[in-house]
Structure 1
Amino acid sequence: MEIRKLNTLRGIAALIVFVTHFSDITQWLDGALGGGAGAYGVMLFFMLSGFLMSHLYLAQELNGRSIKYYVLARVGRVVPLYLLVVLTSYLLTLSGSDWLYHIPDSEALLGHVLFLYGDSVLWSIPPEVQFYCLFILFWLLAKNRRGYIYLLIVIVMLALFFTNFPRIYGDLNGVPYNQFNVLRSLPYFFVGVVFGLHYKTLVIPDYLRKHGFVAALCLIPLMYPELSPVTSDAKNRMWLSYEVLLVMSTVFFCVVFLVPDNNLLLANTVGDFFGKISYSLYLLHMPVILQVNRFELAVELKLILSLILSVVCAYLSFICFEKPLARLIRDRAHAQHSATMAISDR
């Protein structure tokens, strides 16, 4: 069953990233909404991924058929548009244009294609894909040894903390890699996995399920470096701060478990729309903002124009490429799964 309010949360995550990059590029409001605060939107994306994979798959039986279906479904969701953007960026860069992203040579292209490295906003896709692989281990433990999932998460979290999130990056024969991005992202995937494990079983008393908990989303701008009342370095360390992890986990918990599913602010057609185009919006908004910023316009007009054009590009990408290809891959996986089941029943 679809958890509709998560569509809006996904759209909010994309808009956080959009607004942050717009603020950084144009210095809108003196950059108060920038300063790397787009990280909070990416954190929401990662928690959503961990939650949905845990919620959708861990209760299913793990076998060759289910793994194949899982892999094809995940690939269909993320990889096609990413590869199209990467390859187009590479060809444009070779022609002397950085209209999309800067991928200057075959080594950089290989780093992107192998999900080892990402330029600009593309950095978040390798951690996503690598976590898809790690999730199979969780799935393996889920049937009879579910408790080991918690133990594994605790061990990894402690190891990351005591090793200060090791900076593992560089290049191998010219091919760039950045595992630091993966390591710093893991806690957010883990939070999503734990919440997903308990979504169906955790009983929340009716007196706690209130629409007012949607206000927890207001905690996110309170962590923006230029807006935060926090005086520690947590607001600047962001990914490396367990305090930030606590706040973002609180926001996610409130939205998923405490806000009623029929909340009008989170369950509506606008939220559904932005949720559907969120991935395309995330990948395509930066080039649009950079191009619009070249115009001699008031910053408010740049904001409106950037948002409209980004949404249009994202919608066209979703309708013409992302959705059809994802459906084709998913339907193929489903057909193969059904055919295999039919053979096994004979």
Structure 2
Amino acid sequence: MEIRKLNSLRALAALIVFFTHFSDITNWLGGVLGGGSGAYGVMLFFLLSGFLMSYLYIEKGFNKDNIVRYFSARFARVIPLYLVVVLASYLLSNNGSSVLYNIPDTETLIAHLLFIYGESVLWSIPPEIHFYFIFTLFWAMSKNRTGYIYLSILAVMLLLFFTNYPRIYGDINGVPYNLFSVLRTLPFFFVGVMLGMNYRSLTIPYYLRKHWFVLTLGFIPLLYPAFSPINSADKVRMWLSYEVLLVMSSVFFCVVFLVPDNNVLLANRFGDFIGKISYSLYLLHMPIIAKVNQLDVSIELKLLLSLLLSVIAAAISYQFFEKPVANLIRRKVSNRPNSATSQA
């Protein structure tokens, strides 16, 4: 069963990142939408990722065929475009071009291919890949040991809190690694998993399912450093603040569980469209903004051109690369002999 609202949440996440980077690069509105505020869009992506993995797979049997389908679906969704962007960035960087991202040497390329380091927006892909494997541990416990899932999540979150998120980064023989970026994202994945585990079973009273809960999305801009009423370091700690985790998780819960599925602001064609191309939009928008910013035109026209060109590039990428490649991979997997056939 598709939860259509999630398309618009994914679209919102991508647009938050886009406007943050546009504000940072061009100093639009004095940069008030920047300052790392794109983190809140990425947090939504990670909440969505954990939720969908749990919602789609946790009740399925933990067996070889389902595991193969799970990893092939995850691989088809994320890896092909990532590899193209990484390899193109490496080739262009070594030819003196800064069109994409800076991957200047073989060591940095290896780090990207091993998912232990990411340049610019590519940093968020390694945590996603790492969590695919972590989720299989939860999945394995889901049938008879569900309580261990909650216990392990609690233990890890307490450990991260009391160790202040260990800064594990550096390089090995020139190959950079940054596991800190993985550790700081885990709480958002974990909350998404727990919410996904309970989406079908949690009964929400009819009187709580109200369209006005969509207004809770307005709490996200209040977390931005330029707008936040919070005077503590939490307004700049972002990933390391459990207060921020609480706010983002509460907003996510309200939208997914309390807003009716037919809410016009969340269930619409625009949200469906941007949600589908959100991954391409996320990976491709920064180079486009940087190039448009070199034009001698007004800031408003730069914004319009950057958004339009980013959406067009993302739509082309999704329609003519991501979608066909993903469908090809899924067909290959669905046509493979199952375990019973291969033993016959």
Give the SS at the match of 2:335: helix
RMSD: 1.0
In 2, Cα distance between equivalents of 1:291 and 1:137: 43
TM-score of the superposed pair, with normalisation by structure 1: 0.98
Aligned to 1:343: 341
Q: Residue 117 of structure 1 corresponds to which residue in structure 2?
A: 117
Structure 2 partner of 1:38:
38
User: Aligned partner of 2:132: which letter?
Assistant: Y
Instruction: Give the alignment of 1:174-193 within 5 angstroms.
Output: 174-193=174-193
Q: CA deviation at 1:343?
A: 2.1
| Matching residue of 1:71 | 71
Equivalent position amino acid for 2:241 in 1 = S
Corresponding position of 2:83: 83
Is this contact kept in 2: 1:73–1:333, CA < 8 A?
A: no
| Structure 1 runs not aligned, ≥5 long | none
Alpha-carbon separation, structure 1, partners of 2:251 and 2:81: 29
Preserved contact between residue 37 and residue 225 of structure 1 (Cα < 8 Å): yes
Partner of 2:107: 107
Note the C-alpha offset of 1:175: 0.8
Q: Distance in 2 between matches of 1:229 and 1:297?
A: 35
Which position in structure 2 is the counterpart of 1:249? 249
Code of the aligned partner of 1:136: T
Q: 1:195 is aligned with what amino acid? A: L
Aligned to 1:92: 92
For the residue of structure 2 that corresponds to 1:214, the secondary structure is helix
What is the CA deviation profile of residues 186-228 of structure 1, one whole-angstrom value per residue up to 9, with x for unaligned ones?
0000000000000000000000000000001000000100011
Where does 1:263-274 land on structure 2 (aligned, <5 Å)? 263-274=263-274
1:68 Cα deviation after fit: 1.0
Deviation at 1:341, TM superposition (A): 6.1
> Displacement of 1:66 after TM fit?
1.1
- Inter-partner Cα distance in structure 2 for 1:176 and 1:138: 29
Q: How high is the TM-score relative to the length of structure 2?
A: 0.99
Residue 318 (structure 2) pairs with residue 334 (structure 1): no
Question: Among the aligned pairs, what percent are the same residue?
Answer: 66
Distance 2:187 2:330 in 1: 29
Instruction: Rate the CA distance shift 1:162–1:344 in 2: closer, same or farther, 3 A.
Output: same
- Give 5+ residue unaligned stretches, structure 2: none
Deviation digits for residues 261-312 of structure 1 (CA, Å, limit 9, x no counterpart): 0100000000000000000000000000000000111111100000000000
User: What letter corresponds to residue 159 of structure 1 in structure 2?
Assistant: L
Q: CA deviation at 1:342?
A: 6.3
Distance of 1:326 and 1:215 partners within structure 2: 35
Task: Give the deviation of 1:344 after TM superposition.
Answer: 7.4
Structure 1 position 115, deviation (Å): 0.4
Matched with 2:223 is: 223
Distance in 1 (CA, whole Å) between partners of 2:235 and 2:22 is 20
Residue identity opposite 1:175 in structure 2: V
